[in-house]
């Protein structure tokens, strides 16, 4: 499932096309995705101006001129593409690691915009969804309620991390994946940040010292910033909005590198893999304590 950097990459790709435009028509080609669409969804979006395109955790948020917000989640296989002109093919620049799917049967939602462009949501597995909620009180909306601090926000630092994990007996990796504590982190970047900070995924979250918390918070911010800058990691079905693949997967330190030498220059360890809470954890048992 796309993590925070992938969703932010999609947001940055869509924003120049969608922000400031009017939705002249919305095609809703099926009654549901993961969940049913809101009642009169297409009708309520038609004629609305998109004031801004934001992100909260792993959700895209399109603010409309009537005070409503379209909440969008990509699920496991959802992607957007941008088309222009009646018969134009979408531009898909980039050196592809995985071919881009062209199954039009999975084009479920089409935004027809006043700038002549179409933004198309494609989702073969239909695990994504779209909702429509009021901007006022959006933090209590059903999909966003209870989300924790944004790890790329100004309020996130070692002190916040230390306070969040205080007295928690769960393993450090599990605590980092708890969306009620930190919103948007997923398995890939948690593995990367733990290795960068030299901390074991099995370490008790509550045992984290203030110094280690500072180190981990810095690693989280650095890993996410690098992934966003690189365009997100395009594992499996993820695509950027313009069709390009992100390339951060080529920079992974430990994720999916079982059996390879630890990339730290002063470490002679080997990357290992173990399963924690049903997910693969990649780590170096030599330098991560």
* pLDDT tens-digit map of 222-281: 999 999 988 877 666 677 777 777 778 778 999 999 999 999 999 999 999 999 988 999
Is 279 considered catalytic here?
A: yes
pTM, entire model: 0.89
**In the structure encoding, which two tokens stand for residue 222, read together?**
């650095």
Q: What backbone phi and psi angles, to 5 degrees, belong to 49?
A: -90, 135
173 catalytic residue (yes or no)? no
CA pair distance 54, 11, nearest whole angstrom: 7
For residues 64 and 248, the model is more confident at 64
Rounded CA separation 27/18 (Å): 16
Is 261 catalytic? The answer is no
Give pLDDT, residue 245: 72
The closest of 217, 209, 139, 146 to 176, measured between CA atoms, is 217
Residue 83 CA from chain centroid, whole number: 23
pLDDT digits (tens, 9 = 90+) for 71-95: 999 998 888 889 887 544 454 322 3
pLDDT of residue 230: 87
Position 237 scores a pLDDT of: 66
Name the active-site residue from 3, 8, 192, 244.
3
Q: How far apart are CA 245 and CA 99, in angstroms?
A: 10
Q: Is there a catalytic annotation at residue 58? A: yes
| Mean pLDDT of the chain, nearest integer | 90
- Measured distance CA(60)–CA(20) in Å, rounded: 16
Q: Are 242 and 11 in contact (CB under 8 A)?
A: no
- Among candidate residues 11, 55, 56, 58, the one labeled active-site is 58
What is the C-alpha to C-alpha distance for residues 161 and 172, in angstroms, rounded to an integer?
11
Q: What value does the mean pLDDT take over residues 41-51? A: 98
């Amino acid at each position: 499932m796309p993590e925070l950097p992938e969703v932010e990459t999609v947001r940055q790709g869509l924003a120049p096309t969608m922000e400031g435009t009017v939705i002249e028509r919305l095609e809703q080609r099926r009654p549901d995705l993961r969940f049913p669409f809101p009642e009169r969804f297409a009708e309520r979006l038609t004629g609305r101006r998109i004031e801004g395109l934001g992100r909260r955790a792993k959700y895209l948020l399109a603010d409309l001129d009537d005070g409503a917000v379209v909440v969008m989640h990509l699920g496991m296989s959802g992607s957007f593409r941008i088309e222009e002109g009646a018969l134009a093919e979408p531009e898909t620049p980039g050196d592809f690691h995985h071919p881009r799917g062209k199954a039009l049967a999975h084009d479920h939602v089409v935004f027809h915009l006043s700038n002549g462009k179409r933004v198309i949501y494609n989702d073969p597995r239909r695990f994504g969804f779209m909702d429509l909620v009021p901007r006022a009180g959006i933090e209590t909306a059903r999909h966003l309620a209870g989300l924790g601090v944004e790890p790329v926000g100004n309020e996130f630092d070692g002190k916040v991390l230390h306070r969040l994990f205080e007295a928690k007996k769960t393993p450090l990796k599990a605590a980092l994946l708890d969306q009620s504590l930190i919103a948007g982190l997923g398995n890939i970047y948690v593995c990367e940040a733990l290795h960068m900070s030299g901390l074991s995924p099995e370490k008790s979250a509550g045992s984290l010292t203030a110094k280690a918390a500072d180190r981990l918070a810095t690693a989280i911010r650095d890993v996410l910033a690098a992934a966003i800058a690189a365009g997100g990691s395009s594992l499996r079905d993820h695509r950027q909005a313009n069709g390009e693949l992100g390339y951060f997967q080529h920079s992974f330190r430990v994720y999916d590198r079982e059996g390879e030498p630890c990339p730290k220059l002063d470490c002679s360890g080997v990357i290992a893999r173990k399963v924690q809470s049903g997910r693969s954890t990649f780590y170096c048992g030599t330098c991560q304590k």
